[in-house]
Chains A and B, each alone.
Chain A
Amino acid sequence: MGLITWALNPWGRSVPIHIAWYLIWVCAIAGLLFMMVHALYVGIFAAPKKFAKNDSAAVTAAIPERVPRHSLVARAFHWVMAISMFALLITAFLPKVGVKFDWVTYHWIAGLVLTASVLFHIVHASFFLDFWSIWPDKIDMRDAKRRLLRALGKDAPPPDRFAKYPLENKFYHAVIVLAGLAVIATGVFMMKRVNTGILVRNPYLFSDMTWGMMYVLHGLAGVGLIALIMVHVYFGVRPEKLPITKSMIFGWMSRDFYLEEHDPERWSVEKASPPQKGLAAGDD
């Protein structure tokens, strides 16, 4: 029982054709197990969060009641991407587990929507937002070490509060960037294999081996996204994360939550009023 399904091509060469479909269940179960373990850990074992705080009165006074976090454009991107991602997962994997419907056209259309939205996001985040705000920095790594030591009962100073994004959020983003770009890059080429009316079909664009590897990479990234999306939704509905989720709907988070979780020195919102100007610190 391998990870990849192989076949003999017309020239007798063994080539990969796709992933083994049981990996759908492996990833779904992995996502479910992660959620259960995390929920148990947070509910029973985890100590309350404790951050180092030394905000001056002047700094806190400058924080508005509603701290702008995501611009309308950024929120629109997020939800368009979310809808297309759900459409892609549904059209890709439900037929594989026995729910039969005409999925191909919906799948590639959703894929094009995802591709367009991600391209937009790359440009938007690179040139109009703080590109580096979503990538881990030295303070994140230092604080991660402190948090780990404290969780293990060791002596360590309390970590600073987060910048705009918690480290876990940044890691998640990095992983989903990899998986997302993998499905997009391979998916765009795979559109040359089916009749779409957009590209001229050419199944011989690559060798059987290259096509096979492309299908495998598409599949691996795809099943990986099952677990990633499950975990994302799970965190989105966890009570302690709801202020972040709401900010992706309404665009802002409360002053109290901001001061509790975020370090004004690492994520400045002093220029936040009027609200739209406060988005210069980075958005996603």
Chain B
Amino acid sequence: MAVIRDVMPAFDLLQPSTAADAQKLLQQGGEDAWVMAGGMDSLDWLKDRIKKPKVLVDLSGIDELKGIRTTGDGVEIGAMTTLTEIANHPAIKTQYGVLSQAVELVASPQIRNQGTLGGNVSQDARCWYYRGGWPCYRAGGNICYADTPVGRNREHAIFGANRCVAVHPSDSAPALIALDAKFVIQTPKGERVVDAEDYFVGPELDITHLNILAPGDLLTAIRIPAAWAGARFYFEKVRDRNVWDFPLMNVASATVLSGGNIDRIRIAVSAVAPKPMRLKQVEDAVRGKPADAATGEMAGNLAVKGAVPLQFNAYKIPLMRNLVKRSISGVEEATWA
């Protein structure tokens, strides 16, 4: 039987104009509802007919979810704000440069024009076995095709694998963790605000989701506190094709120096584990030390402790070691934001 591609399965398209209505529609739809932000991830799933929701809630008509607002304590970015708008926003560029750098490296300009911050942090895993519709753990099955002797796992996890070895593909997520951002979620029980690192979930807790959103939940905004405004930022993304690709790995750091020593620091990496990893041990180890090559070297070595490579991704260990080192001590070709 021929496989039908590019013809989406039938669903009810709902286009609410307020966040409250969207949340209620998602709640009514429950497990059968699919939330679509910019559609960059959703349309792949739907056109490949792998995900077949009965109800699709399109958020594109909800103006209150768009835009960047300055608040008393930092900025609040609507979940439907496009990545291009974030990359070009003056306050983000000057005060929270790590985020503008991160989103500017997402995919291509066309995708950044359409893709949203909420969608970027909530996108699904890129493991091709999973995206191919195979019945792997993440799809509700009982096997990981990538973690086999012949599985193609060059892009997969070196940390946090628990049956599933897919990694989180977001570029903005580590930047938001470095900025200590808070995610605002509307749930059937009211508003819930979680730390950025707690928004993501690993397969040990929920193997079929990458984040904590339950049926009926809607991510509405991301708040970035002023505590890290103007800090020294670093973001670096390594990918196969520099013009347009998901990360093989990325790193984001926010550092506040005092007399040449690291006073405060937050570091996060992505595409090394099923969820973006905040490197708390590294942060603790480098606090109070000079932000130089020796400290970076020590941090890099500490960061990769406990890494378990798969058949084809051992290169990620030295890659992570060097990215973490550079996030602390910098590199000549990189510029501090």
On chain A, which size bracket covers the interface?
20 to 34
Say whether B162 contacts A17, CB under 8 Å.
Answer: no
Instruction: Assess whether A193 is interfacial by the CB under 8 Å rule.
Output: yes
Say whether A9 contacts B204, CB under 8 Å.
Answer: no
* Cβ–Cβ < 8 Å partners of A211 in chain B: 142-143
Say whether A17 contacts B142, CB under 8 Å.
Answer: yes
Residue of A at shortest CB range from B161? A195
Chain B interface, >50% SS class: loop
The CA of A17 and the CA of B142, in the complex, are separated in Å by 6
The CA of A5 and the CA of B161, in the complex, are separated in Å by 25
* Cβ–Cβ < 8 Å partners of A193 in chain B: 142-143
28 pairs from A and B in contact (CB 8 Å cutoff): A5-B140, A7-B135, A7-B140, A8-B133, A9-B135, A15-B135, A17-B140, A17-B142, A18-B141, A100-B201, A100-B205, A100-B206, A101-B205, A102-B162, A102-B204, A103-B204, A104-B163, A104-B204, A193-B142, A195-B161, A201-B147, A203-B147, A203-B148, A204-B148, A204-B149, A208-B143, A211-B142, A211-B143
The CA of A91 and the CA of B276, in the complex, are separated in Å by 26
The CA of A100 and the CA of B201, in the complex, are separated in Å by 10
Residues from 167 to 182 in A contacting B, C-beta threshold 8 Å? none
* Cβ–Cβ < 8 Å partners of B132 in chain A: 10
B178-213 to A contact mask, C-beta < 8 Å, 1/0: 000000000000000000000001001110000000
Say whether A17 contacts B141, CB under 8 Å.
Answer: yes
The CA of A15 and the CA of B204, in the complex, are separated in Å by 25
Shortest Cβ distance from B205 into chain A, in angstroms? 5
Instruction: Assess whether A215 is interfacial by the CB under 8 Å rule.
Output: yes
Report the count of interface residues on B (CB-CB < 8 A). Answer: 21
Instruction: Assess whether B68 is interfacial by the CB under 8 Å rule.
Output: no
Instruction: Assess whether B144 is interfacial by the CB under 8 Å rule.
Output: yes
* Cβ–Cβ < 8 Å partners of A122 in chain B: none
Residues from 108 to 154 in B contacting A, C-beta threshold 8 Å? 132-135, 139-145, 147-149
Shortest Cβ distance from B322 into chain A, in angstroms? 27
* Cβ–Cβ < 8 Å partners of B133 in chain A: 8
